[in-house]
Structure 1
Amino acid sequence: MIELDNLTKVFDTPKGAVTAADHISMKVPSGEICILLGPSGCGKTTSLKMINRIIRPTSGRVLINGEDTTNLNTQDLRRNIGYVIQQIGLFPNMTIEENITVVPRLLGWDKTRYRERARELMRMIALEPDAFLKRYPSELSGGQQQRIGVARALAADPPVMLMDEPFGAIDPINRAVIQDEFLKMQQDLKKTIMFVSHDIDEAIKMGDRIAIFRGGKLVQYSPPDELLAAPKNEFVESFLGEDRALKRLNLVKVRDLASEDIGMVTPDDTLTTALERIEAYGYQNSIVMVNDKRQPVGIVSAAIARTSKGHCRDHFQSVPVVVTLDDDLRKVASLMFANDMTWIPCVDDQGRIIGQITQRAITHHLGSRYRAHSGGVAGGAPGPAGEMSATTVHKE
């Protein structure tokens, strides 16, 4: 959808020519979010602004849907591109409805159509239309104003959106909420988005692809997982940080690693039965207890099963936490550390157990991705398949 072809910008300054963007070439496929990332002054914002001609290129081309935009009328070009900036830029003398509908009104939409579009967008960004449309920007919080800025960019339903650090001025809690809402919208809208950020965590969370800039040059352009697993050079590696392996936890869902093979007992099973099932696996030291709805209700340890007699219902510990298939591994790892666990049961929407995620499976997954790129083998050969994702939940 968006292609930059040797896009270059040279600024004339009193000290001589400065190349802000140096022959940038990249393609952003339709419906994807591309994050432009790099240190201050690296050329990412200059590249973004050349797309809608806020800054005119010195040379090179911008193509949208295969069409060279060089000879397009600037106003027509901009009306087909949504633009969101960090400072939001709402018109203070206009109501929220008037702010959102600026472009549709310029395009000649009738009143009924643009007003309904404003209401539709307000619902999309989780703000009640009747409560907010007639207010002015000064009556809204910074986070609410930022949402309005996104809604305004979407008003005329442009195929392309440019976003220049759109969430940078928002506090971390609200920023995370807005990021999540925007990603949910994107699942339905499928816009093609160029997004400038300075935050590597935001880039990993939001981006289908990440472009790393340095000194006006495009250094690496890759999907987040590939970028983290195989940085192109020392600059990219240092920019991503020493914890880049942990950053990959954001990219993997529980469903990608969860094992369906999980040992279980019921409250009416004896401790002898529990111990037999624990020992059948050979290396774990506990087993999960489920009710008649297959919901995890407790953990029976091998130590208790060996030293006590009776039924599981009388000798169990509570299940500290559970996760769903849509949770990411960063959440899983955090819960494991907080609860001193090497496993967590996985449940469906009805709370029924459908498997487990283990620390061993996470470690192996992260390591295998790096081995695939390095061509080597780290930490020795993996054990049997069953050992790479432990087959019963257990607590050490």
Structure 2
Amino acid sequence: MINIENLTKIFDTKQGVVTAADHITMQVPEGEICVLLGPSGCGKTTTLKMVNRIVTPTSGRVLINGEDTTQQDTVTLRRNIGYVIQQIGLFPNMTIAENISIVPKLIGWNKKRYTKRASELLEMVGMDPGTFLKRYPNELSGGQQQRIGVIRALAADPPVMLMDEPFGAIDPINREVIQDEFLKLQRLLKKTIMFVSHDIDEAVKMASRIAIFREGKLVQYDTPDDLLSHPKNDFVKGFVGSDRALKRLQLVTVEEVLETETAVVKMNDSLSQALVKMDDAGYERAIILVDDARRPVGYISRSVAQANQGDCSKHYANLRSVVRLEDNLRTVASKMFTHDATWLPCVNSEGILEGCVTQRGITRHLGATYKAVQ
């Protein structure tokens, strides 16, 4: 856990006194990611660097797992905090194995232990140790180097990590891949992380909590969902963007909006039965067709059922898409727009129907949390 209490930094410059961070107070719970956001010069990077004393605070204090960092030796403090920067900072004259092992060596790990750790970390980010351990940084792509920068910070298994725009210099495709890999690592390792970013979309995706800074002050500190649904003032509203409802889509899973009481028909049901079931359920356009194991295989449209006779098995259309319980609503919305659909069936890992997600259900869920601020 990171506790920041009234942390302040004042710089005496040629232009005068500048308060870069003004009595910042916040808490990052153990195992969570806190993203610091705000315009350039707002104090977020200064706040980050005061945690490991790259910048010395003017006043206030930082406690890591209850221990005041001012009582610790600076070198020891920094060796126990993983640090990742945008420029990566790999040593070009060292192999990847040597780069990863720098801190473990410094704190006294033996060769067998730090070599094993380097191999384990490479495997975690999808890089074959046999291929990459003996290579040098200039033999790697930018994305691969960034992965090494991240796992190097994890090498000595620090409880806390600081990340200063770690993915900012990577192209959008690789950035998303590395973000996803990092989130997988975080679910496994559960580090306590402070993370500076300029990108609200990155913050919403990565963060457990988001801190919005302005002119050295902490303006709002909240979960991504609360920040987007209840921005504190016009500055925060403007910073997160007018499309904040759309940003919230990636924070909500299908399981949270799933309509489980879904009417279905089977192969041997008649089209007239399908119409009755549609009417009873209030379905205007179609009903799902399932097999005997309740796996969706298609749908019967109202227009087809009205114009024909016979069994559903002879008149169904194939499903164009399905979603899963763990999918976020951004994925769902994309599929709905792609296929001009107002609903999609949801299946579990075995392909069995769990229910449906609808545009109306999504709108209802998002709208409910806005009522307090509209």
Answer yes or no: same fold by TM over 0.5.
yes
Paired residue type of 1:82: G
1:169 paired with 2:169, answer yes
Q: Provide, for residues 186-243 of structure 1, a one-character-per-residue CA deviation record: whole Å limited to 9, x for no partner.
A: 1111100000000000100100000000001100000011100111110000001110
Partner of 1:48: 48
Q: Which residue of 2 aligns with 1:90?
A: 90
Deviation at 1:370, TM superposition (A): 0.8
Superposed displacement of residue 87, structure 1: 0.4
Cα distance in 2 for partners of 1:271, 1:80 equals 68
Corresponding pairs, count:
374
Amino acid at match of 2:363: T
Question: Which whole-Å CA distance do the structure 1 matches of 2:48 and 2:30 have between them?
Answer: 17
1:85-164 matched pairs, under 5 angstroms: 85-164=85-164
For 1:197 and 1:15, the matched residues in 2 are separated by 27
Mapped to 2, the partners of 1:368 and 1:243 lie a distance apart of: 17
Q: TM-score, normalised by structure 2?
A: 0.98
Give the CA deviation at 1:85: 0.4
2:92 aligned partner, one-letter code:
P
Deviation of residue 283 (structure 1)? 4.1
Residue 232 (structure 2) pairs with residue 232 (structure 1):
yes
Displaced runs of 4 or more, over 3 A: none
Q: Which amino acid aligns with 1:309?
A: Q
Mapped to 1, the partners of 2:222 and 2:350 lie a distance apart of: 38
**Distance across 2 between alignment mates of 1:141 and 1:17:** 43
Q: Which residue of 2 aligns with 1:299?
A: 299
Which residue identity is paired with 1:234? D
Tell me the residue number matched to 1:381.
none
Matched letter for residue 122 of structure 2: M
* AA matched with 1:158: P
Shift of 1:66: 1.1
Shift of 1:275: 0.9
- Aligned position for 1:68: 68
Instruction: Output the CA distance in 2 between the equivalents of 1:142 and 1:302.
Output: 53
- Report the Cα distance in structure 2 between the residues aligned to 1:112 and 1:97, rounded to whole angstroms: 12
Query: Is structure 2 residue 332 aligned with structure 1 residue 329?
Result: no
2:190 is aligned to 190
Amino acid at match of 2:160: V
Residue 382 of structure 1 is matched in structure 2 by none
Match of 1:360 in 2: 360
* 1:5 aligned counterpart, secondary structure: strand
Quote the Cα distance in structure 2 between the aligned partners of 1:283 and 1:118. Answer: 56
Displacement of 1:290 after TM fit?
1.2
* Residue 284 of structure 1, CA deviation: 2.5
Q: TM-score scaled to structure 1, two decimals? A: 0.93
5+ residue gaps in structure 1?
A: 377-396
* Secondary structure, aligned partner of 2:163: strand
Alpha-carbon distance between aligned partners in 2 of 1:262 and 1:216, rounded to the nearest angstrom: 52
| Partners of 1:63 and 1:344 in 2: CA distance | 48
Give the counterpart letter for 1:167 in structure 2: F
Kindly state the Cα deviation for residue 293 of structure 1 after the two structures are TM-superposed.
Answer: 2.9
- Secondary structure in 2 aligned to 1:318? coil
SS in 2 for 1:12: strand
The match for 1:383 is none
SS in 1 for 2:11: strand
Alignment match, 1:287? 287
Name the structure 2 match of 1:318: 318
Aligned-partner Cα distance in 2 for 1:263–1:320: 19
Measured in 1, the distance between the counterparts of 2:235 and 2:115 equals: 49
Tell me the residue number matched to 1:26.
26
What corresponds to 1:342 in structure 2? 342
Q: Which residue of structure 1 aligns with residue 203 of structure 2?
A: 203
TM-superposition CA deviations, 1:159-180 (whole Å, max 9, x none):
0000000011111111111111
Moved more, 191-200 or 276-285: 276-285
Secondary structure of the equivalent of 2:71?
coil
Q: Name the structure 2 match of 1:16.
A: 16
Match of residue 262 from structure 2: 262
Separation (CA, whole Å) in 2 of partners of 1:368 and 1:112: 56
2-structure distance, mates of 1:77, 1:285? 63
CA displacement, residues 319-378 of structure 1 (integer Å, 9 cap, x when unaligned): 01000000000111111111111100001112221111111110000000111x33x7xx
Match of 1:180 in 2: 180
In structure 1, what is the Cα distance between the partners aligned to 2:328 and 2:184? Answer: 16
5+ residue gaps in structure 2?
none
Q: Secondary structure at the match of 2:323?
A: coil
Overall identity of the aligned pairs, in %:
64
Task: Give me the whole-angstrom Cα distance separating, in 1, the residues matched to 2:352 and 2:114.
Answer: 46
What's the offset of the Cα at 1:267?
1.7
Letter in 1 for 2:291: N
Question: d(CA) in 2 for partners of 1:282 and 1:227?
Answer: 36
How far has the Cα of 1:292 moved from its partner?
2.6
- What is the letter of the counterpart of residue 28 of structure 1? V
